[in-house]
Amino acid sequence: MTPAPALPVAISCGEPAGIGPEIAAKAWAALRGDVPLFWIGEPAHLPADLPFLLIDTPAQAAEALPRGLPVLHHAFAAPNTAGVANPANARGVIDVIARGVDLVRTGQAAALCTAPIHKKALQDGAGFAYPGHTEYLQALAGADRAVMMLASEQLRVVPTTIHTALSDVPRALTPALLRDTIRITDDGLRRQFGIAQPRIAVAGLNPHAGEGGAMGREEVDWIAALVTEMIAEGYDLRGPLPADTMFHASARMAYDCAVCMYHDQALIPIKTLDFDRGVNVTLGLPFIRTSPDHGTAFDIAGTGVANPSSMIEAIRMAHRMAQGTYRT
């Protein structure tokens, strides 16, 4: 019996004035023989030399894929100028994300890969009330909390606090928040990455993980106790570990993901190791969502020089996660 074809990955257009349309086109050229996919957006925003085919449903994507980028048309209010965000298109960007979520949740698409958005344009043009993609997706899904993971073949990291000023991190970082982050990370590694018993490294907050209280007391006062408590509950954890010694090659072999305390502690190592191919994965949602780990890059939009590597990896990772074939 011939197996049913794999469901396609839905790609939301993101900010049309950024590099999203260009890298989606390049991703189609790279992946059309391997990964079923389709793009949701206004075809007039795509590169002029890109072959595309309009589809009525995601089920038509597989047949169209060899001949051009399958496009599920979504009308936008205004034309597009590369490098210049038009707030009139903000509602279209927001609605495309919601449409992609609906297609995944109704079983018409395998996963959602989102191109970068420009938050100020969305706020100015449509009163977008969310800090970013992650929080909007969390609201659309009705999820209690979503967690941001950055993943590549070399490293996976999760920041416990994200877009928080460094001076505010010690107040924002609580036992409940760290526990919840570890729990969601463990569940995501099991369900979406197929790791039966995830090994999670927990970074310390302070230099040298506090060095016994000499350089900060959070580790002594509660982080170590929380790690011990969760180990007793069955989690495979190690830490709190000094952040300056947990990311070299041999150290990374001992864990599947590092849970970090703040944004740069997590993102500096992965961007140093694999700047072009890191992927943003949202854990805690009832569907698979990935995104390239970069922004709209208005300064190079429309020039044809944008590197599509992160978008290609984001689409490929979403497909593999949906197929249950993701392994590192």
Distance of CA 167 to the CA centre of its chain: 26
Asked whether residue 73 is marked as a ligand-binding residue, the answer is: no
Q: In 56-120, where do the E strands start and end? A: 69-73, 111-114
Q: Which two structure tokens, joined as six digits, stand for 253?
A: 């072999």
Asked whether residue 263 is marked as a ligand-binding residue, the answer is: yes
Q: What is the torsion angle, in degrees rounded to the nearest 10, for the CA atoms of residue 118, residue 123, residue 128 and residue 130? A: 70
Asked whether residue 45 is marked as a ligand-binding residue, the answer is: no
Asked whether residue 163 is marked as a ligand-binding residue, the answer is: yes
Asked whether residue 280 is marked as a ligand-binding residue, the answer is: yes
Asked whether residue 190 is marked as a ligand-binding residue, the answer is: no
In 3D space, the residue among 311, 327, 303 whose CA is nearest the CA of residue 35 turns out to be 311
Q: Binding site: which residues?
A: 133-134, 163, 208, 263, 271, 280, 289
Which residues fall in the annotated binding site for a divalent metal cation? 163, 208, 263
Q: What residue numbers does the annotated binding site for substrate cover?
A: 133-134, 271, 280, 289
